[in-house]
Structure 1
Amino acid sequence: MTQRVAIMILVLLVIGLLVCYVLKFKDWKQQRIHQDIEKKLKRYPIVQAAWEKAEAKQYNIPGLTETRMMVPETGENELCQWMTPQGLAFSQDFVFISAYCYDHQHHSVIHVLDRETGQPIKLLILPKRPHVGGLVYDTKRELLWLTITGSATGRVAALRLIDILADTSEATGQPITYWLTTDLLEIPQASYLTQNNDQLVSGNFTLKGEGQLTFYLLPTIAEMKTAIRRKDKIQPTVTMSRKTPDKIQGVAFYGHYLLASRSYGPYTSELLVSERDSPSRILKRIKFPPYLEQIVVVEDRLAVLFESGAVAYREKANPVLANVLLLDLATLLHANKRSKKIAATKNSRTPQDDHCCS
């Protein structure tokens, strides 16, 4: 055996050992994350069971301890340690997580993750400082819709997927440009967002008293392009509106059910289950950890986002969840024995209520 061959064999052995070490380290890290989340969910047995049933799938939320942003005026990098996650959306290939700066010193952002691996791909810097409490990916139109700040009414913006993929705002500090913006009439603000076929669905958060959930029929992509070219106003048509309970942070549709996250402050959150046409008539309440934000139905799973990992809430929250969790919907909806069914009075209860989601 020549010296050259021996060196090559040694190099290959070292590479093989390094690969084994990296793989084992990744497995160990995943096990630690799994154990940590499992421990934090012990007080929420239905959530824990649904997470385990969904193969303990989770995504780490980026930028919670610091988000590095270029300042276009100076060309220097600046750290924001107050990014607070709010909105969540899924496309076929990507996961989108929006966040705003709690102390309002930096622009709001959207993190783009690889859906398969969970690895961050890029950071979109948004114009100004909207709360971005709601995101939804419109597969048919290849648009990412997001809630932004309106004046006495709800307001949303849209980003094209091709523009998201080509964006360089993370490197330049220059915010991405919205493809379009439009008002959502009949609600005082757009606090959260989802989609129901060709309808955008948005509602307003209320600390006390009822909120409002409103459905808006969207124009086709061809109609949108024509309106943009002509500089015409794009105005989604209101199709219906429903009342909601207070403290609603997000909604999602699953079959004939409407799911809503209800949360405020460092207290136990709830997942509310109702018929999709009657969001105020709650069929089931499921206890969740505090600071539950947007929820998204992803096939037969429910993706849930918490803001408790943000610096602003970390000391108040117990437990702290710096992850997007995927939960098995069948486990959530069929867990009748551990969930609390609600009826206003005995007279208002129907036989169907006692078999909700079973």
Structure 2
Amino acid sequence: MKGKVKIGMLVIVGIVILMGCYHKKSDYSSESNMKLESNQTPAIYPENQEQANVLKDFPDLFKAAVESNESVKDIGMYVIPGLLNTTSVTSNEANTIVDCKSMTPQGVTVVEGYVLISAYCHDHEHNSVLFVLDKDSHKYLKTIVLQDRSHAGGVTYDPKAKNIWVCGRYEDKAEIVAISLANLEKYDLNQKVQPIEYSQRVELPQLKRASVITYWNQAIYVGYFADHEEGRLEMYPVDEDGKMAGKLTKEQRIRTTIDLDKSNEKDTVVRELQGITFFKNQFFITQSYGALKDSKLLRFTYDAEKEVFLDSDVSKISDFPAHAEQISTYQNELFIIFESAAKPYRGIEKVWVDRVLSADLNKLMD
């Protein structure tokens, strides 16, 4: 009799364990009531004013992004979600949900009423993502999972065709991918656990990597920048329907030595250029040199016929905190994102920026 009781208890325990395992898996299914979303708590500074205070050592930025926004909601700042925890996937298969602790922001752009942030897993274990924020309320709305683990170094928007373009990489080749605004708005990871669909994939054989991207005057500008090589900025026109054939129509080069300790060396190099954007007849570039070194914002007057931009073409330089990444323009604002508050850099910086900053472009140009 005792033997039968023991067997019965073992069977019951086994059933309970199996039910627990099944329940844990179903938590991640589309039928679960559990909401899949990324962390929305600031990684470093609990209050916006604390973030603002550490920018005082950067006069141009402080004037344009803090003093100009004193009466604006959240001092014009947007908390970068997902720095502590991001919901993503490990593959293109449904129901493979993971929590990524090392998601690293790279790109930022404004899309209609949204602010989009691109980010990649620094450990290269999880798919890259787009975070969607409400531009007016500054609230996090959702996470868009991309189809691979590429660097997602930049994101931009074609307002005519209503396409979002993201830097990517496929089979070791540079590419950019397009996501329609309609598809982005209807995407819901809670309804179907899989990456978002792309409307276009365009290979860029002329580039080693798509490092930066921006849309301007019905064309996509894509750049590749690396140590000891000239920066290359390539222009690819898009038609009225937003289609891009990947045909290069213009290539320009950027050579600067401003960031180097030995700027009088014979061979000039481009080093760590992270973002580019246009405003009126000007273009801006962010330059970043890694940990504990200030980034820079370089301003040029744009000339479509110019083949090479040099130090002498820089009209203004502004110091920024370390790890500045993409910049993008929206009306008279410059949106700026930094990667310094991501896990890989959180313990080594002296100044962190865990928010997207919006700066008055006219003040930056003074």
| TM bin (shorter chain) | 0.7 to 0.9
* TM-score, with length taken from structure 2: 0.76
The question of 1:57 aligning with 2:91 is answered no
Cα distance in 1 between the residues matched to 2:190 and 2:106: 19
Measure how far apart 1:187 and its partner are. 2.3
The 5 Å alignment of 1:293-312 reads 293-312=325-344
Measure how far apart 1:236 and its partner are. 3.1
Give the match for residue 184 of structure 1. 204
Of 232, 235, 240, the residue aligned with 1:212 is 232
Q: Which residue type is aligned with residue 254 of structure 1?
A: F
Measure how far apart 1:150 and its partner are. 4.3
Of 66, 75, 87, the residue aligned with 1:68 is 87
Q: Name the CA shift for 1:150/1:276 in 2 (closer, same or farther; >3 Å).
A: farther
SS at match of 2:50: helix
CA RMSD across the alignment: 2.0
SS at match of 2:51: helix
SS at match of 1:105: coil
The 5 Å alignment of 1:90-105 reads 90-105=110-125
The question of 1:243 aligning with 2:268 is answered no
Give the match for residue 268 of structure 1. 294
Give the match for residue 347 of structure 2. 315
Measure how far apart 1:191 and its partner are. 0.5
Cα distance in 2 between the residues matched to 1:154 and 1:323: 29
The question of 1:46 aligning with 2:46 is answered no
Cα distance in 2 between the residues matched to 1:212 and 1:74: 38
The 5 Å alignment of 1:48-197 reads 48-51=62-65, 52-55=67-70, 56-69=75-88, 75=95, 77-150=97-170, 154-169=174-189, 171-197=191-217
The question of 1:258 aligning with 2:283 is answered yes
Cα distance in 2 between the residues matched to 1:73 and 1:186: 32
Measure how far apart 1:105 and its partner are. 1.0
SS at match of 2:142: strand
Same amino acid, percent of matched pairs: 31
Query: Retained in 1: the 8 A contact 2:153–2:167?
Result: yes
Structure (1/2) with the larger helix percentage: 1
Query: Retained in 2: the 8 A contact 1:205–1:211?
Result: yes
Measure how far apart 1:54 and its partner are. 3.4
Q: Name the CA shift for 1:276/1:153 in 2 (closer, same or farther; >3 Å).
A: farther
Give the match for residue 49 of structure 2. 35
SS at match of 1:258: strand
The question of 1:326 aligning with 2:355 is answered no
Query: Retained in 1: the 8 A contact 2:94–2:193?
Result: no
Of 321, 339, 360, the residue aligned with 1:289 is 321
Cα distance in 2 between the residues matched to 1:75 and 1:151: 24
Query: Retained in 1: the 8 A contact 2:87–2:143?
Result: no
Give the match for residue 9 of structure 1. none
Cα distance in 1 between the residues matched to 2:208 and 2:84: 33
Unaligned segments of structure 2, at least 5 residues: 1-44, 256-269
Measure how far apart 1:312 and its partner are. 0.8
Cα distance in 1 between the residues matched to 2:148 and 2:229: 30
Q: Name the CA shift for 1:171/1:36 in 2 (closer, same or farther; >3 Å).
A: farther
Q: Which shifted more, 78-87 or 150-159?
A: 150-159
Q: Kindly tell me the number of residue pairs found equivalent between the two proteins.
A: 294
Measure how far apart 1:212 and its partner are. 0.5
* TM-score, with length taken from structure 1: 0.77
Where does structure 1 differ by over 4 angstroms across 4 or more consecutive aligned residues? 70-74, 150-153
